[in-house]
């Protein structure tokens, strides 16, 4: 009988899938142009809200596998993983952790620079009026060029999911939907006992607290972009 372990709490799962939705919506709306640029901005503000929640709050006080401290990689961990000398993990492995941090950073650069974008035609970011035209132009260029970085990281992310499914028989999407990871008894020895013995907390109190934090962050972001 397989061992069922709660790895991803509901807040982190909702963060993940809402972020996917907002990135896709942002991509579609920016390519449609015209009035759709306003939707592009709304998706951007939503991404900003989600990132602040993930980085400032849930990455520090979330459940075990959501906290950055649980998967912050170091040189030895990365080398051991690449050489196949590290135990399996329930959450992010060292290379996966690097890709997570890289994507979060790239997305934060994108949404922050987007606040200062001024194309002088159809859209002006809510903070563009606070900087010079040259600064707004510079940040607009970063915003446009950084799209390539995000597309590359997203492609790598999708390719890694396919690779693990195809060659390692590990479904990375299912746990991000259900929250649970199924461990076959024959594979338990490949994991650290501490990992297998600690489920991530995912109760009503924690979920309610996460909703409260996200709501407060949303209100604060909304205030600053409309001020």
pLDDT tens, residue order, the chain (227 aa): 788 999 999 999 999 999 999 999 999 998 887 788 899 999 999 999 999 999 999 999 999 999 999 999 889 989 988 888 888 889 999 999 999 999 999 999 999 999 999 877 778 899 999 999 999 999 999 999 999 999 999 999 999 999 999 988 889 999 999 999 998 888 888 887 777 878 899 999 999 999 999 999 999 999 989 87
Lookup: tokens for 54: 């993930």
- The model scores a pTM over 0.75: yes
Which of 104-122 are b and which e, b meaning 16 or more Cβ less than 10 Å from the residue's Cβ? Answer: bebbbbbbbbbbbbbeeee
List the CATH number of the domain containing 190: 1.20.950.20
Report the pLDDT value the prediction gives residue 195, as an integer from 0 to 100.
78
Axis crossing angle, helix 204-226 with helix 36-52, rounded to the nearest 10: 130
DSSP letter for 4, please.
Answer: E
Q: Which domain holds residue 149?
A: 3-226
Report the pLDDT value the prediction gives residue 130, as an integer from 0 to 100.
92
Report the pLDDT value the prediction gives residue 123, as an integer from 0 to 100.
82
DSSP letter for 206, please.
Answer: H
Helix H segments across 115-132?
Answer: none
Lookup: tokens for 84: 């196949």
Report the pLDDT value the prediction gives residue 2, as an integer from 0 to 100.
83
Domain count, the chain: 1
The answer to whether residues 11 and 66 touch, using CB atoms and an 8 Å cutoff, is yes
- Burial class of residue 49 (count of CB atoms within 10 Å of its CB; 0-12, 13-18, 19+): buried
């Amino acid at each position: 009988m397989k061992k069922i372990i709660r790895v991803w709490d509901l807040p982190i799962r909702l963060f993940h899938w809402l972020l996917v939705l907002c990135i896709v919506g942002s991509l579609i709306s920016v390519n449609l142009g015209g009035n759709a640029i306003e939707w592009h901005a709304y998706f951007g503000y939503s991404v900003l809200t989600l990132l602040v929640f993930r980085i400032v709050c849930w990455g520090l006080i979330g459940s075990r596998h959501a906290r950055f401290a649980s998967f912050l990689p170091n040189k030895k961990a990365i080398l051991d993983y690449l050489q196949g000398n590290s135990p399996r993990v329930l959450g992010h492995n060292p290379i996966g952790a690097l890709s997570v941090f890289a994507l979060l950073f790239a997305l934060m650069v994108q949404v922050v620079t987007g606040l200062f974008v001024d194309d002088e035609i159809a859209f002006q970011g809510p903070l563009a009026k606070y900087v010079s035209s040259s600064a707004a132009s510079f940040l607009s260029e970063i915003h446009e060029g950084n799209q390539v970085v995000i597309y590359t990281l997203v492609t790598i992310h999708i390719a890694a999911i396919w690779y693990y499914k195809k060659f390692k028989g590990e479904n990375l999407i299912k746990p991000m939907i259900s929250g649970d990871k199924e461990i076959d008894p024959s594979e338990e020895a490949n994991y650290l006992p501490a990992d297998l013995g600690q489920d991530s907390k995912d109760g009503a109190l924690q979920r309610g607290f996460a909703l409260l934090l996200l709501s407060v962050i949303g209100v604060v972001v909304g205030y600053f972009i409309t001020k």
